[in-house]
Structure 1
């Protein structure tokens, strides 16, 4: 399928018909961009009515103190430009294989997605993709020295642990549970969980208006963990139905459009992009968590973690082609022209000791 031929049909990215074409396009390009298999559905919890607005869902594993649990985004190593064993291994790949292998999304509008108007190759682009190119340029001297691999939400950590990718740059929230399995860079984006629902819906936010509603979330996502934990704790109305769970977040928008779900819970940054894809849905209520995206890598890839943190420092300082320029290009239209609420800490803390 050629992207150029889809130009008229996909203009605006709105409506069920357009989204069906988007999904078909994604399936077509799965042949070009390796896709990892996903697991089955997650389980739901039970609990009583109520509502809790917290920082992050309580998670055990990578955080061993209350201070670490309160700010998992600080559990990373100080920046450094030095090469180490991990980076040397990447640089020593022969010939055409001398590339940074990165797990990404290809279906998140303006984050990592295939632009159907970009010609027959329908190249990957978006905010996350810009960051990947910047990291590749720093490590390998060529922003295009990247092998992209499409990964479902629930396969991000296994792909890193199995060594199928060097890193994952895929709107991945830093939290304690994940810190037990992978290492993270310093934050590169700030967001929070939010509710997405049809404009005609009586749902008003993350509150008792979710009673009896079918809530879609991606398996392995922080949204799914938050929903399950809150319902078990009695902080989410017990009659809310925590299904369907899907491999990829975009699938929730399709389920919403097909009437198979009543609401979606996901990061507000992703929800805003989905609302831009379909003018019949909107964000409901305010964000009810505070979360940070980070670049995920193997736990023992210390030199790569330090190098990515140095890249992030330089990326924020670059006023011409850095973080702000990428935000203005990709996200200002779906979030806000003022990027202040999305900016990571201006002076990140690097509290991980080893």
Structure 2
């Protein structure tokens, strides 16, 4: 290539870069968009207590809803500056990728496959399977259930993995499967089951709604992580949401998170330790 051609090529490259620079500079984060709009658009459900469900006066509530309120409070100083998009579980990811919502908080389990489609925030809850017993029943706890072997019967929601799931914790137990959560609790109440196996969150919620009647057997397994989701490629927005959730669990907004946790799961959280940050221990 001659010197004149090289000069022309360099000039063309520089011109192209300069032409693209204003377009690049015009790109804004979802954070700026939400702040300018004046409210957060949150995708969540409305039919699964204690995560997202309607109150008697038709107000959306639940732990997922409170996670959105934490973000709104960090944005505007007002946790109620939210427009809710009521979505089914299969709309959680499409509504993020098409910008129908700014943020989805809907007990979404973190998986590698989903992480290729959306950006997950830091976790706000760790789910798992637990065992609920009747207060004053024959078996005091998980160890008693396990020691009883094939003498115990566990009620569980019907699915193809139900028996394997129960036998991972209680290898010899009998497994009775039912087609609704209400029926697994009825089996426990009637004595047809010695314990009911369900999500730890559902177990905690049910015990909160029925104080003194049931208790946790004290063992959990099959862990899975719940996190909110945002659109990929916007690090500023992801960083902001992460900061809001992190400070609710470990910092200045801890009381907000702890009060929500107590309300929906009936448990008191230990305040974060002062001094060396817990994240680095």
Query: What are the residue-to-residue correspondences of 1:303-322 with 2, within 5 Å?
Result: 303-316=236-249, 318-319=251-252, 322=253
* Residues 153-162 or 301-310, more deviating: 153-162
Deviation (angstroms), 1:126: 4.2
Indicate whether 1:166 and 2:102 are aligned: yes
The match for 2:201 among 257, 261, 269 is 269
Deviations 1:55-78 (A, max 9, x none): xxxxxxxxxxxxxxxxxxxxxxxx
Unaligned stretches of 5+ residues in structure 1 = 1-82, 218-223, 245-250, 350-354
Deviation (angstroms), 1:109: 4.8
TM-score (norm. length: structure 1): 0.51
Q: Larger strand proportion, structure 1 or 2?
A: 2
Q: Larger helix proportion, structure 1 or 2?
A: 2
Indicate whether 1:104 and 2:44 are aligned: yes
Indicate whether 1:347 and 2:275 are aligned: no
- Secondary structure at the aligned position of 2:258 is classed as helix
- Secondary structure at the aligned position of 1:192 is classed as strand
Alpha-carbon distance in 2 for matches of 1:340, 1:318: 9
Aligned length: 238
Alpha-carbon distance in 2 for matches of 1:209, 1:276: 30
Alpha-carbon distance in 2 for matches of 1:179, 1:85: 20
Alpha-carbon distance in 2 for matches of 1:301, 1:255: 44
Task: Report the equivalent of 2:117.
Answer: 181
Going from structure 1 to structure 2, the CA distance change for 1:99 and 1:329 (only over 3 Å counts) comes to closer
Q: CA RMSD in A?
A: 4.4
Indicate whether 1:324 and 2:255 are aligned: yes
Task: Report the equivalent of 1:87.
Answer: 31
CA contact 1:126–1:330 (8 Å) conserved in 2: no
Deviations 1:322-347 (A, max 9, x none): 12343135517844334379xxx932
Going from structure 1 to structure 2, the CA distance change for 1:338 and 1:318 (only over 3 Å counts) comes to closer
Deviation (angstroms), 1:272: 0.5
TM-score (norm. length: structure 2): 0.61
Alpha-carbon distance in 2 for matches of 1:164, 1:307: 19
Deviation (angstroms), 1:185: 0.9
Query: What are the residue-to-residue correspondences of 1:1-354 with 2, within 5 Å?
Result: 84-91=28-35, 99-109=39-49, 111-116=51-56, 120=57, 122-139=58-75, 142-153=78-89, 155-196=91-132, 205=142, 213-216=154-157, 228=161, 231=164, 235=168, 240=175, 244=179, 252=181, 254-257=182-185, 259=187, 263-266=196-199, 268-279=200-211, 280-316=213-249, 318-319=251-252, 322-328=253-259, 330-331=261-262, 334-339=265-270, 346-347=278-279
CA contact 1:186–1:348 (8 Å) conserved in 2: no
- Secondary structure at the aligned position of 2:68 is classed as helix
Higher relative contact order, chain-length normalized (CA < 8 Å, sep 6+): 1
Deviation (angstroms), 1:289: 4.2
CA contact 2:105–2:228 (8 Å) conserved in 1: yes
- Secondary structure at the aligned position of 1:286 is classed as strand
Going from structure 1 to structure 2, the CA distance change for 1:158 and 1:339 (only over 3 Å counts) comes to farther
Alpha-carbon distance in 1 for matches of 2:141, 2:97: 39
Unaligned stretches of 5+ residues in structure 2 = 1-26
CA contact 1:84–1:304 (8 Å) conserved in 2: no
Deviations 1:254-285 (A, max 9, x none): 2334559963421x233201222235544334
